[in-house]
């Protein structure tokens, strides 16, 4: 087996995946290449699993072909898709095996949350940015945003969080991005404009 990246013009790859030109040798070379990429994600994948992951990668490429804008060699983009597919599988397994039940535990923990005690009068504590953040988490975020944010902070795979919430991963990103924007606005409104929040000053639309 020759260890090199298959070389074809991008248009050839696109035509092959659109089924317009069945370039079998090219696709076979790409399969071998992506097998090697996937093996680098985890050595624990068996040959059969690597094969399945390459097939899944091919399906994703077909589905997302219009997302390839020719910013790179097609093979580099395909390697990125294969890496994503392999990591998604790894994270799914990790969620099922090592981290089973963690999401429910977080949900349970959040459900029992007492509201944060009223802001204390002491000037020192009132200026504590973490306390303001904690209060904003309670006052500004929805239950789903709180759960998603905490689950991500604790390192639960986003594939797991998204599945539990019955949304796709892009919707999950939007949910937590909206939450971060709300929190950022709360901190600014509370007067925090220190170095760490300088980038917030230019916030226009939110």
By CB under 8 A, name the binding residues for other proteins: 3-5, 33, 36-37, 40-41, 64, 67-69, 71-73, 76-77, 79-81, 83-84, 87, 91, 106, 109-110, 113-114, 116, 129-130, 133-134, 137, 149-150, 153-155, 157-158, 169-170, 173-174, 177, 180-181, 183-184, 187, 196-197, 199-200, 203-206
* Shortest separation between residue 33's beta carbon and other proteins, angstroms: 7
CB of 21 to other proteins, least distance (A): 22
| 3-class SS of residue 105 | helix
The CB-of-41 to other proteins minimum distance in angstroms stands at 6
3-class state of residue 119 by DSSP: coil
Q: Of 5 and 26, which CB lies nearer to other proteins in the complex structure?
A: 5
Q: List C-alpha distances in Å: 71 to 74, 76, 117.
A: 9, 10, 52
Nearer to other proteins, 22 or 101 (CB): 101
Cα–Cα distance, 171 to 66 (Å, whole number): 20
DSSP single-letter state for residue 81: H
Other C-beta atoms lying within 10 Å of the C-beta of residue 160: 19
Nearer to other proteins, 64 or 96 (CB): 64
CB of 44 to other proteins, least distance (A): 14
Tell the smallest beta-carbon distance from residue 117 to other proteins (Å).
10
How far is residue 92 from each of residues 96, 160, 161, 163, measured CA to CA in Å?
A: 6, 7, 10, 10
Q: How many CB atoms lie within 10 A of CB 16?
A: 19
Q: Which is nearer to other proteins, 14 or 187 (CB)?
A: 187
Is 21 or 153 the residue whose CB approaches other proteins more closely?
A: 153
Report DSSP state, residue 127: T
Q: What angle do CA 196, 202, 206 make, to 5 degrees?
A: 100
């Amino acid at each position: 087996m020759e260890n090199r990246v298959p070389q074809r013009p991008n248009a050839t790859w696109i035509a092959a995946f659109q089924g317009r030109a069945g370039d079998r040798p090219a696709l076979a070379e790409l399969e071998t290449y992506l097998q090697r990429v996937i093996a680098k994600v985890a050595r624990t994948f068996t040959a059969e699993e690597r094969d399945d992951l390459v097939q899944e990668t091919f399906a994703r490429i077909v589905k997302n072909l219009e997302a390839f804008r020719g910013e790179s060699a097609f093979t580099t983009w395909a390697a990125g898709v294969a890496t994503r597919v392999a990591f998604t599988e790894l994270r799914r397994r990790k969620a099922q095996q090592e981290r089973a039940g963690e999401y429910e535990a977080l949900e349970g923990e959040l459900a029992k949350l007492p509201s944060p005690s009223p802001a204390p009068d002491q000037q020192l504590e009132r200026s504590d940015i973490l306390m303001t953040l904690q209060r904003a988490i309670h006052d500004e975020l929805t239950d789903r945003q709180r759960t998603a944010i905490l689950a991500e902070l604790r390192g639960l795979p986003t594939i797991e969080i998204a599945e539990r919430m019955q949304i796709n991963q892009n919707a999950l990103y939007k949910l937590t991005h909206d939450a971060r924007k709300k929190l950022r606005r709360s901190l600014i409104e509370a007067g925090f404009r220190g170095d760490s929040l300088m980038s917030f000053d230019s916030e226009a639309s939110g």
